[in-house]
C-alpha cells in the first residue's frame, strides 16, 4: 500500500513534466509543419511599374493575361488597391514595413526620389521591421527573389546593413538594385541625366581650354606658366574621372546579381534574367513544401529596358511593351502551376500586385510605348497623388479560404499586407505604429467596409492628398493640396524630366484644395465646388482634421536616407566580385534546371 501510494505519487509528479514535454514537442511539430493546423504559405508577386490598365481582368481587352485573370477568377480582386507612393523605393518600403515611407526616412525631400547607386549609404534602416522579419520570428522560411532597391551597405563594403538578409529574408537571389536602362547598352541613361551632361560639358570646356593655352604657349603668343598647364591637365583628368567612373560604369556598379551576400554576376546578362528569376522562385517553393514559407517574388519586369525574350517577341498587339506584359503573365502562370502541382494551393495565399502605376513618359519613336497603361485613371508613376500612379492591381488567391470570383471595391493599401501576414502567421507580439490593416475580414466577406476611412497620399515626404471614404456612403473623396506641374505645360506628365518632382516650383499648391469624388468621377476630371457638392465644407474639414491627427503620429522624425550625402556613389561601399575596382563575374548556370 505504502509502495503503491509512493508510486502513484511519483507518477503524479512525473505526469505534468511529461505533459509539458509533450506540449513542447507538439509546439516544435507546429514549427516544422507536421501539425494539421499548419500556418499558411505566402507567395507574393510584385511587378515593377505595371499599370492597372495593363491587365485583362482590370478591363484590358487587347492584351492577353489569362494567367493573372485566372488568379482573379479563383480569388479576390481588389479594384481600389493603393500604393503608398508612386515610385519604387518609397512604395516598396511602405509595402515591406506596413508604414508610410517617411516613418523610416525613405521619403524624398528634393530631386532624388529613389536610391540611385548601389554604392550609396542610404537604404531601409536596420532598425526597421519588415513582414519578412516578423514571419521569420514565427518560424517561417523566407525568401526574396528579384528586385530589392532598398540599399545594401552603410559604412563599408560588406556590412550589408540594408541587405535583404538583414531584413528578414533568409534567402536572397536577385537584383539588389533594379533593372534600368543603363543595364543594356544603347538604351540610354536613367540616372541624373542633367548632371551627367553638365559634367561632360565641363570636361569638354576644360579640354578646350587646355588645348588653347597649350597652343598659345607653343606659338609663343603669350607667356603661359607651365604650372598652370599641369594644374589644368590634372583638373581635366579629375573631371573626366568624376563623371566617367560613377556614370559610364553604371552597369558594372549597379546591374548585378547577388545570391545572399555574394555578388555572383557583374555586370549581369539581362537576356537570361527572366528565366533565372523564375527558376529560383520555383526552386524555393519546391525546397520548402514541408514547412511554412514566405516567398516575395519581385519581378524585374516591366521596367525599361524591355526584355526581348524570343518566345514572346512580336507576339502581342502592343509592341515590345505588350510582349513583355505577356511574358509577365506567363511567369505568373508558371508560379501558379508550381504551387498547384505541389499540392500547396489550399494552404498558400498567392498575391499579385505592382509597386505603383505605369510610367506614362516612357515612350520613344522607335519602340513606341515603353511604360504601363493606367486605364481611366489620371497620371502615372511619379505624379504624386493622382490616381493613375497609385491605384494598382491587387489579387489574392487562396482556394482553401477565400471565395472565388469575389470583387472588393473598398479602399485597400499595399501596406495592408504586413498586418495581414502577421495575423495569418498568428503573430500577436507588440509592434510599431502601422498604417495598414488586416485585410482578411474584408477578403473573407466578414465585413463590408474597409478600415481605411482615410488614406494619405505622399509625394516624397510631402502630404499631397487625402482620401476619405465616409461611413455609410459610396463616395470616395480625394482632396489634393498640391499637384505636380506638367512639362511641357498642358501635357499629361513631366515629359521634359521624365519624372515629376514634389517640391518648390515643380508643384502648384491649391487653396482651397482640389476635390474629387472618385466614385462618380474616377478619372479626377471634374473638381467639386460648394455648388456641386452639398458636403463640400464638411469634406474639407474632415480631411484636414484627419491629416492633422495623422501628422501627430509622425513625431519622431528619422534621419533621411534620401539626402545627396547618402545617395551619391562611394567606392568603398560598392558591392563587387573580385578585387575592387576590377569587379566582374558570371553566374555558373550549369546546375540550373
Ligand X SMILES: *[C@@H]1O[C@H](CO)[C@@H](O)[C@H](O)[C@H]1NC(C)=O
Which residues are the active-site residues?
Answer: 88, 149
Nearest position to ligand X, beta carbon = 373
The minimum distance between CB 329 and ligand X, in angstroms, equals 12
Residues 6+ apart with CB under 8 A from 518: 80, 387, 467, 475, 476, 477, 478, 524
The minimum distance between CB 375 and ligand X, in angstroms, equals 6
The minimum distance between CB 510 and ligand X, in angstroms, equals 30
Cell of 18: 511529461
Q: Which is nearer to ligand X, 214 or 376 (CB)?
A: 376
Verify binding: residue 328, ligand X, rule CB under 6 A.
no
The minimum distance between CB 54 and ligand X, in angstroms, equals 5
Residue located via cell numbers 549597379:
254
Interatomic CA distance for residues 499 and 528, integer angstroms: 28
Looking at 37, 61, 223, 588, which residue binds ligand X (CB under 6 A)?
61
C-alpha of 154 from chain center: 20
Residues 6+ apart with CB under 8 A from 278: 331, 334, 335
Looking at 63, 112, 152, 439, which residue binds ligand X (CB under 6 A)?
63
Looking at 53, 274, 379, 411, which residue binds ligand X (CB under 6 A)?
53
Q: Measured at the alpha carbon of residue 351, what is the angle toward residues 360 and 441, in degrees to the nearest 5?
A: 115
Site string for ligand X, 486-525 (x = CB under 6 A): ----------------------------------------
Q: Which is nearer to ligand X, 60 or 166 (CB)?
A: 60
| Residue 49 region by backbone torsions, left for phi larger than 0, else alpha for psi between -120 and 50, else beta | left
User: Exposed, middle or buried, 278 (CB in 10 Å: 0-12/13-18/19+)?
Assistant: buried
Verify binding: residue 322, ligand X, rule CB under 6 A.
yes
Q: Which is nearer to ligand X, 240 or 324 (CB)?
A: 324
Looking at 45, 47, 48, 60, which residue binds ligand X (CB under 6 A)?
60
Residues 6+ apart with CB under 8 A from 231: none
Within residues 100-119, the interface with ligand X by CB under 6 A covers none
Nearest CA among 494, 557, 567, 449 for reference residue 86 = 494
Verify binding: residue 194, ligand X, rule CB under 6 A.
no
CB atoms under 10 Å from CB of 557, counted, come to 10
Phi, psi of 463 (to 5 degrees): -70, 115
Interatomic CA distance for residues 414 and 244, integer angstroms: 39
Residue located via cell numbers 506584359:
325
Within residues 131-170, the interface with ligand X by CB under 6 A covers none
Q: Which is nearer to ligand X, 305 or 436 (CB)?
A: 305
Q: Which stretch binds ligand X (CB under 6 A): 41-49, 131-139, 316-324, 577-585?
A: 316-324
Nearest CA among 101, 142, 143 for reference residue 122 = 101
Verify binding: residue 69, ligand X, rule CB under 6 A.
no
By CB under 6 A, how many residues form the interface with ligand X? 14
Contact indicator for 175, 148 with CB cutoff of 8 Å: yes
Q: Which is nearer to ligand X, 316 or 543 (CB)?
A: 316
Cell of 323: 510582349
Q: Which is nearer to ligand X, 54 or 416 (CB)?
A: 54
3-state secondary structure of 477: strand
Verify binding: residue 254, ligand X, rule CB under 6 A.
no
Q: Which is nearer to ligand X, 326 or 416 (CB)?
A: 326
Site string for ligand X, 348-387 (x = CB under 6 A): ---------------------x--xx-x------------
Give, for 517, the enclosing helix (H) or strand (E): strand 507-517
Task: Quote the longest CA-to-CA distance of the chain.
Answer: 126
Q: Which stretch binds ligand X (CB under 6 A): 5-13, 61-69, 289-297, 398-406?
A: 61-69
Verify binding: residue 312, ligand X, rule CB under 6 A.
no
Looking at 217, 259, 291, 318, which residue binds ligand X (CB under 6 A)?
318
Q: Measured at the alpha carbon of residue 419, what is the angle toward residues 415 and 422, in degrees to the nearest 5?
A: 135
Helix extents (H) in 365-450: 387-390, 417-424, 440-443
Looking at 54, 280, 326, 329, which residue binds ligand X (CB under 6 A)?
54
Cell of 58: 482590370
Q: Which is nearer to ligand X, 177 or 321 (CB)?
A: 321
Q: Which is nearer to ligand X, 328 or 402 (CB)?
A: 328
Q: Measured at the alpha carbon of residue 209, what is the angle toward residues 205 and 211, in degrees to the nearest 5?
A: 120
The minimum distance between CB 376 and ligand X, in angstroms, equals 9
Verify binding: residue 555, ligand X, rule CB under 6 A.
no
Interface with ligand X by CB under 6 A: which residues? 53-54, 59-63, 318, 321-322, 369, 372-373, 375
Amino acid at each position: 500500500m505504502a509502495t503503491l501510494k509512493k508510486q502513484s505519487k511519483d507518477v503524479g509528479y512525473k505526469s505534468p513534466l511529461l505533459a509539458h514535454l509533450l506540449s513542447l514537442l507538439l509546439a516544435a511539430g507546429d514549427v516544422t509543419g507536421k501539425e494539421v493546423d499548419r500556418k499558411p504559405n505566402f507567395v507574393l508577386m510584385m511587378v515593377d511599374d505595371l499599370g492597372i490598365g495593363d491587365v485583362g481582368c482590370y478591363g484590358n481587352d487587347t492584351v492577353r493575361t489569362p494567367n493573372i485573370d485566372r488568379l482573379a477568377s479563383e480569388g479576390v480582386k481588389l479594384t481600389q488597391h493603393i500604393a503608398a507612393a508612386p515610385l519604387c523605393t518609397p512604395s516598396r518600403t511602405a509595402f515591406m514595413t506596413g508604414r508610410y515611407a517617411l516613418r523610416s526616412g525613405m521619403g524624398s525631400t528634393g530631386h532624388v526620389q529613389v536610391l540611385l547607386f548601389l554604392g550609396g549609404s542610404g537604404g531601409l534602416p536596420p532598425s526597421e521591421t519588415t513582414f519578412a522579419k516578423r514571419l521569420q520570428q514565427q518560424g517561417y522560411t523566407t525568401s526574396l527573389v528579384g528586385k530589392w532597391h532598398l540599399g545594401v551597405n552603410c559604412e563599408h563594403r560588406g556590412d550589408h546593413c540594408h541587405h535583404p538578409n538583414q531584413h528578414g529574408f533568409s534567402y536572397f537571389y536577385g537584383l539588389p538594385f533594379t533593372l534600368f536602362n543603363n543595364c543594356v547598352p544603347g538604351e540610354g541613361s536613367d540616372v541624373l541625366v542633367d548632371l551627367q551632361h553638365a559634367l561632360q560639358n565641363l570636361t569638354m570646356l576644360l579640354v578646350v581650354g587646355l588645348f588653347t593655352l597649350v597652343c598659345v604657349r607653343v606659338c609663343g603668343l603669350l607667356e603661359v606658366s607651365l604650372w598652370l598647364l599641369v594644374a589644368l591637365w590634372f583638373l581635366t583628368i579629375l573631371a573626366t574621372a568624376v563623371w566617367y567612373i560613377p556614370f559610364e560604369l553604371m552597369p558594372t556598379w549597379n546591374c548585378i546579381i547577388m545570391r545572399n551576400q555574394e555578388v555572383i554576376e557583374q555586370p549581369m546578362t539581362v537576356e537570361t534574367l527572366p528565366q533565372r528569376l523564375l527558376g529560383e522562385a520555383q526552386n524555393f517553393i519546391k525546397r520548402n513544401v514541408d514547412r511554412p514559407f514566405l516567398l516575395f517574388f519581385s519581378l524585374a519586369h516591366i521596367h525599361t529596358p524591355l526584355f526581348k525574350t524570343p518566345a514572346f517577341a512580336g507576339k502581342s498587339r502592343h509592341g515590345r511593351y505588350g510582349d513583355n506584359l505577356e511574358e509577365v503573365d506567363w511567369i505568373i502562370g508558371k508560379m501558379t502551376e508550381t504551387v498547384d502541382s505541389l499540392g500547396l494551393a489550399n494552404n498558400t495565399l498567392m498575391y499579385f500586385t505592382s509597386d505603383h502605376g505605369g510610367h506614362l513618359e516612357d515612350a520613344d519613336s522607335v519602340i513606341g510605348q515603353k511604360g504601363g497603361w493606367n486605364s481611366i485613371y489620371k497620371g502615372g508613376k511619379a505624379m504624386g497623388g493622382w490616381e493613375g500612379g497609385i491605384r494598382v492591381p491587387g489579387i489574392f488567391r487562396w482556394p482553401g479560404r477565400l471565395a472565388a470570383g469575389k470583387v472588393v471595391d473598398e479602399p485597400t493599401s499595399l501596406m495592408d499586407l504586413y498586418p495581414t501576414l502577421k495575423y495569418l502567421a498568428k503573430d500577436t507580439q507588440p509592434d510599431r505604429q502601422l498604417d495598414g490593416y488586416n485585410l482578411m475580414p474584408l477578403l473573407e466577406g466578414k465585413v463590408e467596409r474597409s478600415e481605411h476611412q482615410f488614406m494619405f497620399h505622399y509625394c516624397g515626404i510631402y502630404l499631397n492628398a487625402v482620401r476619405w471614404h465616409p461611413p455609410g456612403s459610396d463616395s470616395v473623396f480625394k482632396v489634393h493640396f498640391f499637384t505636380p506641374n506638367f512639362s511641357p505645360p498642358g501635357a499629361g506628365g513631366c515629359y521634359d524630366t521624365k519624372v515629376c518632382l514634389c517640391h518648390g516650383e515643380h508643384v502648384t499648391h491649391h487653396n482651397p484644395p482640389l476635390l474629387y469624388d472618385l466614385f462618380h468621377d474616377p478619372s479626377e476630371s471634374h473638381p467639386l465646388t460648394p455648388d456641386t457638392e452639398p458636403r463640400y465644407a464638411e469634406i474639407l474639414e474632415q480631411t484636414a482634421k484627419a491629416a492633422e491627427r495623422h501628422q501627430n503620429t509622425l513625431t519622431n522624425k528619422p534621419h533621411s536616407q534620401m539626402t545627396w550625402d547618402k545617395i551619391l556613389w562611394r567606392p568603398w561601399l560598392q558591392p563587387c566580385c573580385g578585387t575592387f575596382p576590377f569587379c566582374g563575374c558570371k553566374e555558373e548556370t550549369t546546375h540550373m534546371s
